[in-house]
């Protein structure tokens, strides 16, 4: 098996060489102030710090003037080690569950039986440690400003003390794979610093005469989030992962000397710090038994021979901008000089200002965070991207696969960041290995499957340790949901070779599992059992709460989508027709969707009473978004979906950031821009932190950071402006009245179009650039018509395009 570190090293070196070409330490262009987050106070808590990252290394910058803290992460630093998580006994309980549900209708007993099919809990993502920078001899600070420039991916902190201005700037370089920090003083010889590295886990720090600090430690071999005293460390090789970080300090006009386990810098005018890290991770199937000495050596080699700071920064900014500047976003401000206010103040004022310009910043922040947490060769963005400060983080900071990891990647194609999808593809490819074993051992099924949670070691089995609520564990349909993101690559790029070699084999194997997972429902149809509408529950006819049933709407939607994609791929590739015919036959036996007693899209196969009417999950609405089965051409299902969404929100649903982001996307697909804007306002007021991080309620007056809402909202804002599903491209489908003018450039549509959208004073224009030859069906929003230079206004027009050419489409009232 090829080592991911080898692939990562190759990608990083190749990117570094490309970024270095023709670059020097020339002055960088000025950035747009509208793309900068800034505050006048330091971060009050970790979740308020400013995030930096290169997909592998993460840093959270607090902006403390006299005692700075920079929290550090490395994306492969996880607890645990490879293990067999399958449950051979699950195969014996599966027919019992199916009988309890399909014949006895004893759903409560089925819940308890599903617990017997669970495996161990997954492992947790761990923090690397903290870099501390203490300014010695200073007792007060004024004129503090901390900022994050999204356009350069550089965080800055400046303050004044004793008549001297002190400045710090930090970035995390993808080309050079280092955290780089520059500290300067306006008065020569004014920097007197103490540098230290600390860690919440057992670790040792040592300072060396060459101006370096070494942090070396080991993560837990066990870390069960459900048991308070479960953290266990081991000195046995391969049980728990070793890690190392090395910091190099170079002073100009001063000295650097070790003092105990710290570095002391005296009378310097400027200081450059470079830090890198390494872990014992050798791939999900191999014990993490790399020796400590080898990790230290790897770090030191990673710091050796680095260019001057100015050159490192130039390379870093060029690399970042090559991704970030593909898309522009402008929503004209309704607040004079609004961008001159600190970002946290703008957020606080939002309920009264309702300033669209803050949403444009939030949109670009989502793109920035994806660039920072998902790069080719790295791990995918997890529940917190790559940022975590806790040994036991919320939900293990894992990949929760019943929407959260998928939502992280909703904007990757439409927001013109296609190559950042690679880590998700890599993870899904890995899951076909562990997932095939789970499918066979647990269920006697072909193909591969995955469940609720995934960790670094690619756990595919249901978690819970035999006592977990099945709604948090036994959902067996995350594989088809992951497959959607692989097929999206083909839909956007048209890359047939990629479809044949990389995507179709994974989709086909997932479809094999689904064929075996489907069972007769007793009425001539096929259904899934056990089935879960993710994390939701219902009242049985005996008014007992239960979660296990058969044929939930989400399951049917995912299977419809997966089988349909496989059939389409078979046609494109002109192969595997016999398998496609089997899928068509199975599709014909799936039960139809149903409308419930309140006119809503029914969530379960039975019209159960909802036990939690305001559930944050809205999984039964998958066919509307992110799926594409329900469109304006299916008015019955659009109406039922709208009623379901209304009922959820009327009962307090969408109370988490990611759930609210989902609601925005659903309103956009329904063509209701004003409702989408209303939910955007709710997101900003109730689910956004001072640094614009998405927040998740965790009890009275407490929230925690969860990144999926940032990504989901960025994707949903694009859905308000551009939709390209079900074979049609809709221009301005859900433009709210609150956005009277603006422009978004560089957005991508399925089929290979790049779209610039401009609107003002009722005039709407789309400038399209074809990335490949093709024909597109363009659709106007309700009440509008489209026209080109050669076509008269019409609600829908066909447009044949030639790669490289540009096309102008006017959108006017019908």
Domain ranges of the chain: 4-73+126-325, 90-122+357-721, 731-813
Name 724's Cβ contacts closer than 8 Å, sequence gap at least 6: 414, 730, 749, 750, 751, 753
Question: Is 28's pLDDT higher than 70?
Answer: no
Q: 266: which residues sit within 8 A by CB, 6+ positions away? A: 192, 254, 255, 257
Q: Which two tokens stand for residue 67?
A: 């005692």
Strands 728-731 and 774-779, bridge-based pairing: parallel
CA distance 207 to 257: 8
User: How far is it, in rounded angstroms, from Cα 108 to Cα 711?
Assistant: 36
The 3-state DSSP class for residue 363 equals helix
Question: Residue 72 forms beta bridges with which residues?
Answer: 59, 129
| Choice between 24 and 214, residue whose per-residue pLDDT is larger | 214
Angle at CA 99, nearest 5°, toward 96 and 103?
160
Backbone torsions φ then ψ of 612, nearest 5 degrees: -130, 80
Topology, domain 4-73+126-325: Beta-galactosidase; Chain A, domain 5 (2.70.98)
Mean per-residue pLDDT, 576-580: 98
Task: Write down the pLDDT at residue 227.
Answer: 67
pLDDT band at 30 (very low <50, low <70, confident <90, very high): low
Q: What is the DSSP letter of 48?
A: G
CB 499 within 8 A of CB 490: yes
- What are the pLDDT digits (tens) for 523-563? 999 999 999 999 999 999 999 999 999 999 999 999 999 99
Token couple for 430: 């890995």
pLDDT digits (tens, 9 = 90+) for 301-347: 999 999 999 999 999 999 999 999 999 999 998 888 777 899 999 99
Structure letter (DSSP) for residue 500: I
Q: What SS3 class is residue 783?
A: coil
Instruction: Tell me: pLDDT of 587 over 70.
Output: yes
Q: How far apart are CA 734 and CA 722, in angstroms?
A: 8
- The pLDDT of residue 786 is 97
Residue range 280-307: mean pLDDT, rounded: 97
Which of 162-171, 226-235, 760-769 has the weakest average pLDDT? 226-235
Report pLDDT digits (tens) over 613-623.
Answer: 999 999 999 99
What's residue 225's pLDDT?
67
d(CA 398, CA 390): 13
H-type alpha helices, 626-669: 635-650, 657-669
Of 620, 618, 626, residue with least CA distance to 601: 620
Write down the pTM of the prediction: 0.96
The two tokens of residue 15 are 């990117």
CA distances from 550 to 98, 237, 554, 615 (A): 8, 45, 11, 19
755 backbone dihedrals φ, ψ, rounded to 5°: -125, 130
3-state secondary structure of 706: coil
Q: What is the pLDDT of residues 489-511, one digit of tens each?
A: 999 999 999 999 999 999 999 99
**The CATH number of domain 731-813 is 2.60.40.1180:** yes
CB atoms closer than 10 angstroms to residue 112 = 15
d(CA 447, CA 149): 45
**pLDDT recorded at residue 5:** 37
Q: What's the rounded mean pLDDT across residues 569-584?
A: 98
Distance CA 111, CA 107 (A): 6
DSSP one-letter string for 359-385: HHHHHHHHHHHHHHH--TTSPPPBTTB
**Torsional sign, CA 188, 194, 198, 204:** positive
Q: Where are the beta strands (DSSP E) in 398-525?
A: 399-400, 453-454, 518-520
Residue with tokens 């991508």: 748
Across the chain, mean pLDDT equals 94
Order across the sheet with 722-725: list the strands. Answer: 722-725, 728-731, 774-779, 796-801
pLDDT at 748: 98
Tell me which range, 14-28, 213-227, 731-745, is most confidently predicted by mean pLDDT. Answer: 731-745
Per-residue pLDDT, 703: 81
Between CA 244 and CA 296 the distance in angstroms is: 6
647 neighbors 674 (Cβ within 8 angstroms)? no
Question: What average pLDDT does this structure show over 554-578?
Answer: 98
Q: How far apart are CA 376 and CA 33, in angstroms?
A: 29
Report whether pLDDT(465) > 50: yes
Q: Which two tokens stand for residue 357?
A: 């310009």
Cross-strand partners of 777 = 798
| Whole-number pLDDT of residue 32 | 81
What is the pLDDT confidence band of residue 689, given thresholds at 50, 70 and 90?
A: very high
Q: What percent of the chain has pLDDT over 90?
A: 92
User: What is the arithmetic mean of pLDDT over 150-172?
Assistant: 98
- Band of residue 695 on the pLDDT scale cut at 50, 70, 90: very high
Question: Cis bond leading into 710, ω under 30°?
Answer: no
CA–chain centroid gap for 546, Å, is 30
CA gap 370, 46 in Å, rounded: 19
The CA distance from 82 to 458, in Å, is 9
SS3 570: helix
Regarding the domain delimited by 90-122+357-721, which CATH topology (the fold level of the hierarchy) does it fall under?
Answer: Glycosyltransferase (1.50.10)
Q: What is the largest CA-CA distance in the chain?
A: 84
pLDDT of residue 702: 72
Per-residue pLDDT at 757 exceeds 90? yes
Rounded to an integer, the average pLDDT of 778-801 is 94
User: 463 pLDDT exceeds 80?
Assistant: yes
């Amino acid at each position: 098996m090829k080592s991911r570190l080898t692939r990562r090293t190759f990608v990083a070196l190749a990117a570094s060489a490309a970024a270095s070409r023709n670059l020097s330490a020339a002055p960088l262009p000025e950035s747009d102030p509208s793309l900068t987050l800034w505050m006048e106070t330091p971060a009050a808590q970790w979740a308020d710090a400013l995030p930096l990252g290169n997909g592998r290394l993460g840093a959270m910058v607090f902006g403390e003037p006299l005692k700075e803290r920079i929290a550090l992460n490395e994306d492969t630093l996880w607890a645990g080690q490879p293990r067999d998580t399958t449950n051979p006994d699950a195969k014996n309980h599966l027919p019992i569950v199916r009988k309890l549900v399909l014949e006895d209708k004893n759903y409560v007993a089925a819940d308890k039986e599903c617990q017997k099919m669970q495996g161990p809990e997954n492992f947790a993502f761990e923090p690397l440690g903290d870099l501390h920078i203490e300014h010695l001899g200073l007792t007060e600070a004024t004129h503090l400003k901390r900022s994050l420039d999204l356009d350069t991916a550089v965080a800055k902190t400046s303050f004044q003390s004793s008549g001297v201005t002190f400045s710090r700037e930090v970035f995390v370089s993808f080309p050079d794979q280092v955290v780089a920090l520059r500290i300067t003083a306006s008065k020569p010889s004014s920097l007197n610093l103490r540098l230290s590295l600390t860690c919440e886990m057992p670790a040792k720090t040592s300072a060396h005469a060459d101006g370096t600090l070494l942090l070396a430690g080991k993560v837990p071999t066990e870390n069960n989030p459900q048991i308070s005293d479960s953290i266990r460390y081991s000195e046995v090789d391969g049980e728990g992962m070793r890690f190392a970080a090395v910091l190099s300090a170079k002073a100009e006009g001063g000295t650097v000397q070790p003092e105990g386990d710290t570095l002391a810098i005296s009378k310097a005018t400027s200081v450059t710090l470079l830090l890198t890290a390494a872990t014992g991770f050798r791939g999900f199937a191999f014990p993490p038994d790399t020796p400590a000495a080898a990790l230290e050596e790897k770090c030191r080699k990673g710091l050796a021979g680095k260019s001057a700071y100015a050159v490192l920064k130039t390379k870093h900014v060029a690399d970042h901008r090559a991704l970030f500047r593909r898309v522009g976003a402008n929503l004209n401000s309704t607040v004079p000089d609004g961008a001159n206010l600190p970002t946290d103040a703008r957020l606080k004022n939002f309920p009264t200002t309702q300033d669209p310009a803050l949403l444009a910043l939030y949109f670009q922040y989502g793109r920035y965070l994806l660039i920072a947490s998902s790069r080719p060769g790295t791990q995918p963005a997890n529940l917190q991207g790559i940022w975590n400060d806790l040994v036991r983080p919320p939900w293990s900071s894992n990949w929760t696969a019943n929407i959260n990891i998928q939502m992280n990647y909703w904007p990757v194609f439409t927001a013109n960041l296609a190559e950042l999808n690679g880590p998700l593809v890599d993870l899904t490819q890995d899951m076909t290995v562990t997932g095939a074993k789970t499918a066979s051992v647990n269920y006697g099924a072909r193909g591969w499957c995955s469940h609720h949670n995934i960790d670094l070691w690619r756990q595919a089995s249901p978690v819970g340790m035999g006592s977990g609520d099945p709604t948090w564990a036994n959902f067996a349909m995350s594989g088809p949901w992951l497959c959607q993101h692989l097929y999206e690559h083909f839909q956007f790029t048209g890359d047939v070779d990629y479809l044949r070699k990389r995507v179709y084999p994974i989709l086909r194997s997932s479809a094999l599992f689904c064929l075996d997972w489907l069972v007769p429902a007793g009425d001539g149809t096929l259904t899934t059992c056990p089935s879960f509408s993710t994390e939701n529950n219902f009242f049985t006819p005996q008014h007992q709460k239960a979660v296990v049933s058969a044929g939930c709407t989400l399951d049917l939607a995912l299977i419809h989508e997966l089988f349909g994609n496989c059939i389409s791929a078979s046609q494109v590739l002109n192969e595997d027709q016999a398998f496609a015919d089997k899928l068509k036959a199975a599709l014909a036996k799936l039960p139809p969707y149903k409308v419930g007693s309140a006119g809503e899209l029914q969530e379960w196969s039975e019209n159960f009473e909802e036990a939690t009417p305001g559930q944050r999950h809205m999984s039964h609405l998958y066919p509307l978004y992110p799926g594409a089965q329900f469109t304006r051409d299916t008015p019955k299902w659009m109406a039922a979906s709208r009623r379901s969404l209304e009922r959820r929100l009327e009962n307090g649903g969408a109370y988490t950031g990611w759930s609210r982001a989902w609601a925005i996307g659903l309103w956009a697909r329904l063509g209701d821009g004003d409702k989408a804007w209303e939910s955007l306002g709710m997101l900003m007021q109730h689910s956004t932190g001072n640094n614009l991080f998405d927040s998740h309620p965790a009890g009275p007056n407490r929230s925690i950071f969860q990144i999926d809402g940032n990504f989901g909202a960025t994707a949903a804002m694009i859905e308000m402006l551009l939709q390209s599903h079900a074979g049609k491209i809709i221009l301005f489908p859900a433009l709210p009245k609150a956005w009277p003018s603006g422009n978004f450039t560089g957005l991508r549509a399925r089929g290979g179009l790049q779209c610039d959208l401009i609107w003002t004073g009722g005039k709407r224009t789309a400038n399209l650039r074809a990335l490949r030859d093709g024909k597109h069906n363009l659709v106007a929003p309700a009440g509008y018509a489209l026209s080109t230079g050669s076509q008269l206004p019409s609600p829908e027009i066909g447009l044949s395009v030639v790669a490289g050419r540009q096309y102008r489409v006017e959108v006017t009232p019908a």
